[in-house]
Structure 1
Amino acid sequence: MESSDRAVDDKEKENDGEKSGFLGKVKDFIHDVGDKIEEAVGFGKPTADVTAVHIPFIDLKKADLVIDLLVTNPNPIPIPLVDINYLVESDGRKLISGLIPDAGTIHAHGSETVKVPVSLIYDDIKSTYNDIKSGSIIPYKIKVDLIVDVPVIGNITLPLEKKGEIPVPYKPSVDLEKIKFETFSFEEASATLHLKVDNKNDFDLGLNSLEYEVWLAEVSIGSAQLSKSAKIDKNGQNVVGLPISFRPKDFGSALWDMIRGRGTGYTMKGSLDVDTPFGPMKLPFSREGGNTRLKQAEDNDDEVLTFNRFRSGW
């Protein structure tokens, strides 16, 4: 009886060995066929690189970034981009992250630039990290996981990184120091506005143009959009002169108050178009309040309208 059982066990082991050997041979055969197909057809791993990071728009509220990913497909058929995972961080702290599904297809034996748009909202960043202040420049690192579906190989992940810097802009401070008159009569006056622009950012501003409107005693004395070039160094100041003309008689009794030294209120609003190392910006400003009076200039006999410091109005 024992010899009979032993014979059965030996037979089962022999059958298991044959099955194992057969399945192993089948797997090896399939693997070899796959390798032969891959070798014959030319399937391979695609490559990718972060070629550039653009800042097409930036202002006091947000910065829009566009990440350029150059993806090269060496295969004879198109490959789909399954997902794009991205993370933007500064000093190891997350600023923003996201996922772009079904990001397109890369043509056979071709290269294409895939653009990944990202928006950084400054209020969100500053409320999360108190040490990030307006006017500063912060480092960033962009991490991208590009997931592609390659025939025979399957899904693969291409990790990418790019480092750079981005500003957190500070609103400009614009003070109207004085109005210097070239001609003055009750019917018409021509003058120059002397604007002191205070740059509180850690980067230079190149002034290209500005829009402005100025009110005295709730009467507009003029508005314009002018091309004006000036450089304002980081954490520095510059005075810009702007020509203007108006009709003093439109001020009514407020003009007599200024002449008698009683003063009158004023308001100024506008925006600066500037170039920065990070791209162009349009920076608004607004000032209101204070008093004016007419007096003789100290350096010559021209009459000037002087102003005390404005109070911010946002």
Structure 2
Amino acid sequence: MDLVDKAKNYVAEKVANMPKPEASVTDVDLKGISRECITYQAKVSVKNPYSAPIPICEISYVLKSATRVIASGNIPDPGSLKGDETTLLEVPVKVPHSVLLSLARDIGRDWDIDYELELGLIIDLPVIGNFTIPLSQKGEIKLPTFSDLFGGGGKSKDDDTVAEC
């Protein structure tokens, strides 16, 4: 093995053993209702092991119910992770009404849907470059009721803003 190969192996080993940010989905809940869609919000907790902030290049998401994709999208340039802290990110997931209506026919009485949310946080790590933190969360979320759709005026339960799609 020559010197260049040894150097490559050394750098690869050091990069593989570097601490990397760790993330988890802490909650997925109904955020708001508009005429076009229903917005769910995923809360993601990300711990940055470095003292410097790390830019987040993009967050991608795919929301599935019974292996069927019901929403997907990207959030470009959502900010950065605070240095040596845990940052709470809020990821809006927008689901068109037409998709929820087709799901509602299959749901039954409990008005819950089983979901799987897949997130990819693409961050820019020094030396390494772009690095994706893959996340996955499974659970149940409530569909909005007719009174939520027609009586609530499209407002979020957390604040008085209208969800946009």
- State TM-score, norm by structure 1: 0.40
Alpha-carbon deviation of 1:123? 2.6
Match of 1:111 in 2: 86
Higher strand share: 1
Give the Å deviation of 1:72: 0.9
Q: Which has the larger radius of gyration?
A: 1
Describe the superposition over 1:222-272 as per-residue Cα deviations: whole angstroms up to 9, x where unpaired: xxxxxxxxxxxxxxxxxxxxxxxxxxxxxxxxxxxxxxxxxxxxxxxx958
Which residue is 1:55 aligned to? 30
Q: Is the 8 A contact 2:21 2:49 kept in 1?
A: yes
Q: What secondary structure is seen at the aligned counterpart in 1 of 2:140?
A: strand
Name 1:121's counterpart in structure 2.
96
Aligned to 1:98: 73
Confirm whether residue 167 of structure 1 aligns to residue 136 of structure 2. no
Q: Given residue 26 of structure 1, which amino acid in structure 2 is its aligned partner?
A: V
RMSD: 3.5
Tell me the equivalent position of 1:29: 7
2: CA distance, partners of 1:122 / 1:96: 11
Paired letter, 1:167: L
Residue 212 of structure 1 corresponds to none
SS of corresponding position for 1:68: strand
Assess if the C-alpha contact under 8 Å between 1:66 and 1:116 holds in 2: yes
Residues 61 and 93 of structure 2 are in contact (CA less than 8 Å); yes or no, is this contact kept in structure 1? no
Q: Distance in 2 between matches of 1:140 and 1:101?
A: 24
SS in 1 for 2:7: helix
CA contact (8 A) 1:146 1:157 kept: yes
Partner Cα separation in structure 1 for residue 64 and residue 23 of structure 2? 21
8 Å Cα contact 2:28-2:141 kept in structure 1? no
What SS does the aligned partner of 1:44 have?
A: coil
Cα 1:171–1:29 shift into 2, 3 Å: closer
**2:57–2:123 CA contact under 8 A, matched in 1:** yes
1:115: Cα distance to partner? 1.0
C-alpha distance 138-32 of structure 1, shift in aligned 2 (>3 A):
closer
Q: Which amino acid aligns with 2:120?
A: D
Alignment partners' CA distance in 2, 1:114 and 1:272 = 26
Larger RCO (CA within 8 A; separation ≥ 6)? 2
Q: Distance in 2 between matches of 1:147 and 1:72?
A: 14
Q: Distance in 1 between matches of 2:48 and 2:104?
A: 44
Q: d(CA) in 2 for partners of 1:51 and 1:272?
A: 26
Evaluate the alpha carbon distance shift between residue 31 and residue 271 of structure 1 in structure 2; reply closer, same or farther with a 3 A threshold.
closer
Structure 2 CA distance for aligned equivalents of residues 271 and 49 of structure 1: 34
Q: Secondary structure at the match of 1:26?
A: helix
Rounded to whole Å, the distance in 1 between the matches of 2:122 and 2:88 is: 15
Equivalence for 1:82:
57
Which whole-Å deviations, capped at 9, do the CAs of 1:193-244 have from their partners, x for residues lacking one? xxxxxxxxxxxxxxxxxxxxxxxxxxxxxxxxxxxxxxxxxxxxxxxxxxxx
- Name stretches of at least 5 consecutive residues in structure 2 with no aligned partner: 159-165
The percent identity for this pair of structures is: 28
Question: Which residue in 1 is equivalent to 2:161?
Answer: none
Equivalent-residue separation in structure 2 for 1:63 and 1:107 (angstroms): 30
Stretches of 4+ moved more than 6 A in 1? 33-36
Aligned to 1:67, which of 17, 42, 45? 42
